[in-house]
Amino acid sequence: MHERPRLTPIQINRDLMRSVVETPMVFYVLLLLLMGLVGLGVVAATLLVTYGLGVTGLNHPVFWGFFIINFVFWVGISHAGTMISAILRLTSAEWRRPVVRAAEVMTVFSLMTAALFVVLHTGRPWRTLYWAFPYDFVRGIWPDVRSPLVWDPSAIFTYLTGSILFVYAALIPDLALARDQTTGWRRTVYGVLCLGWRGNARQWKLLNATGLLLSALILPVFVSVHSIVSWDFGMSLVPGWHVHIFAPYFVVGAVLSGVAAVIALMAVMRSLFRLHDYIRPEHFDMIGRLLIVVALAWAYFYFLDFVFALISKEEAEYQVMKLRLSPPYLYLFLLMVVCNVFLPVPIWMFRRFRRNIPIMIFTAVVVNIGMWLERFLIIIPTLQRRHPDAFAWGDYSASLVEIALVIFSFANVALLLLLFSKIFPVIPIWEEKEGHIWKREFRIGKLRLPAIVRE
Amino acid sequence: MPSVMGLFKSADTAADAADRLQASGFGPADYEVLTGAPYPEGAFGEDSGQHRLFIFPLGGAMIGFAVGLMVTAGTQLSYPLITAGKPILGIPPMFIIMYEGTMLGALIFTIMGVIFESRLPNLTNDLYDSRITEGYVGLVVRCEDDAQAATAETTLTDAGAEEVKQQGRS
């Protein structure tokens, strides 16, 4: 990247291994705080499992509540990894280097959290597996492959496995470095995990080929996952959900929330691990530019969703839209649109703001509030008007157990990321060094211009 | 077989040493270059050999597709329960799971491929130095006998190696 300072391999090792070998006090503070919040979630989950779904606010006709909203939200966040890592890798975008691992790891942890919410939503976690996986050979009970609720686990399982493999493949050289930089049992563990990596030319050649191959393979999975999540809604005949534009609309929304979450993650990493030489304002600048396109694409799809409902004049669909645009949902709708488009996009238009990290964190948080609300507005008002008969209409308000589990989900992802950063380097060290190998400076007249050479 | 490793502080000196090794009669396949980051292929005149990594995802995809077909068709045929008048073997929903199976197979086999083709896990005690991950470049020369090892040692030292290590010499 053009603003990259000249650093020696030893400096890079020292800076990027700091999170692994040093433990600042703030780490323990964060650890305790997050463990407390996760503990709160464990208590809530225990209550849920002990007393059943009665402890939630779910009731006829709203049987999908905060758990499913959270599931869709976290699957959306998981799209950041592939978007940032795979697409930028395939297009050889130089600014990807310090961002890819954090984004990939966030994909893994947010997917795990998302999957957990589906299991919790069933209220009977121990009975859930045979609904999705064909293993009950004794009783001959098989999942119904015609149901979108069975497509979901297959897509998430593929995406999760692929994402873990993606993270691991790129981690091997850094595990070898960790082996070389540590002593005692940690050296042994890193030595085993890096499989005896030595860094010869063949291994590097294969690793680069693997990065491209995995990127190319995981991109279609990335599109399929949120498409299939959208079909949980779209394949039903529920007015407001039975919309053919849902798949691309969900995918774009997922990219918007996921990439925005990467901004917040980058800012935290930069500050917590003193990575100012690696995660620089130019990275926020680039992501800001990307987000302008994604946010406007999301707005376009959202607008089309409304247009289809209004033009078709299908009464039930029309009523759902009307409910979304009536108080109290109107206020949430307005807040969502402001959070997703009208506030962040004008900010991202200005280079000065895109390079201002506190402002970028603000926009990232705002977008994710907006995207969470978007999922809320898709699910709750729609189910309230699921039946044409007004006597079957109902209301929903989340219980404390559900609210605690939503807080848990955020704490859980943050805790897992924090623990990961303690065990593994959060920035791919070898990729950073590779960037330095390719960096050159050109002189044109009186100017010295930094540039990146490519094969 | 004896082997000799020279450690070089810069890539340029290592590339120069590789040229000298070739001038001393060693072929590109007789030495390997160890680095802490990927250099452009051929930067040291080394021969990294051919690989068949691209076959692995194809094989994995075929296996994944077959497993997907088995899971979708097999389970529905083993208990043929008609739901909502829909066919037992509905192609569109089967395709989704077979697609995911295909991609999963391809992803898993790609990783298996890179591990296999990279000759990992490497359980041998080959010459190595932890300074390689600090930016040094290691040139490991595999020799036929002690005489060749002595030649390699002299060549690497003359080329400016910071340190020369040996293994397997009698």
Write out chain B's pLDDT in tens, 170 residues: 889 999 999 999 999 999 999 898 888 888 899 999 999 888 888 887 888 999 999 999 999 999 999 989 988 888 888 888 888 898 999 999 999 999 999 999 999 999 999 988 988 878 899 899 888 999 999 988 888 889 999 999 999 899 999 887 76
Supply the pLDDT for residue A455.
64
Contact A200/B at CB under 8 A: yes
Rounded to an integer, what distance in angstroms lies between the CA atom of residue B135 and that of residue B114? 24
Question: How many residue pairs from chains A and B have C-beta atoms closer than 8 A?
Answer: 183
Q: What angle do CA A258, A262, A265 make, to 5 degrees?
A: 135
**Are both B62 and B93 inside the same structural domain?**
yes
Q: How many angstroms away from the CA of A432 is the closest CA of chain B?
A: 9
Range of the domain at B16: 3-48+126-167
Q: β-strands B137-142, B3-8: how paired? A: antiparallel
Q: Is residue B44 less than 8 Å (CB to CB) from chain A?
A: yes
Helix H, strand E, coil C: the string for A248-280 is HHHHHHHHHHHHHHHHHHHHHHHHHCCCCCCCC
With CA atoms as reference, the chain A residue closest to B127 would be A198
In this prediction, the residues of chain A whose per-residue pLDDT falls under 70 are 1-4, 454-455
Nearest neighbour of A151 by CB, restricted to B93, B126, B134: B93
Residues B64 and B89 in one domain: yes
Q: How many Å apart are CA A404 and CA A293, to the nearest integer? A: 34
Is B79 found in the same domain as B130? Answer: no
Q: Do B38 and B75 belong together in one domain? A: no
Are A180 and B34 within 8 A, CB to CB? no
- What does the pLDDT look like over A421-431, one tens digit per residue? 999 999 999 99
Q: Do A180 and B38 touch (CB under 8 A)?
A: no
> A218–B126: do the CB atoms touch at under 8 Å?
no
Distance CA B64, CA B103 (A): 7
**CB of B35 less than 8 A from some CB of A:** yes
Distance CA B147, CA B154 (A): 11
* A434-444 tens-digit pLDDT: 888 887 777 88
Number of domains in chain B: 2
Quickly tell me which residue has 């070089």 as its tokens.
Answer: B8
What whole-number distance in Å separates Cα of residue A242 and Cα of residue B30? Answer: 64
Amino acid at A228: I
CATH of the domain at B19: 3.30.70
- In Å, how far is B111's CA from the nearest CA of chain A? 7
Q: Residue B11 in contact with residue A438, Cβ under 8 Å?
A: no
A172's CB contacts (< 8 A; 6+ apart) are A193, A194, A195, A197, A207, B120
B107 and B69 in one domain? Answer: yes
Contact criterion met (CB < 8 Å) for B107 and A217:
yes
Which residue among A146, A198, A208 places its CB closest to the CB of B93? A146
Predicted confidence at residue A124, as pLDDT, reads 84
Strands B163-167 and A439-444 come out as unpaired
Q: Say what the pLDDT of residue B82 is.
A: 84
Of the candidates A142, A146, A200, the beta carbon closest to that of B86 is on: A146
pLDDT in tens, A239-262: 888 888 889 999 999 999 999 999
Does B132 touch chain A if contact means CB atoms closer than 8 Å? yes
Q: Where do the domains of chain A lie? A: 63-394
Q: Does B153 contact chain A (CB < 8 Å)?
A: no
Q: Please tell me if residue A39 touches chain B, with a CB cutoff of 8 Å.
A: no
Residues B46/B18, Cβ–Cβ less than 8 Å: yes
ipTM of the modeled complex = 0.92
Beta carbons of B104 and A204 less than 8 Å apart: no
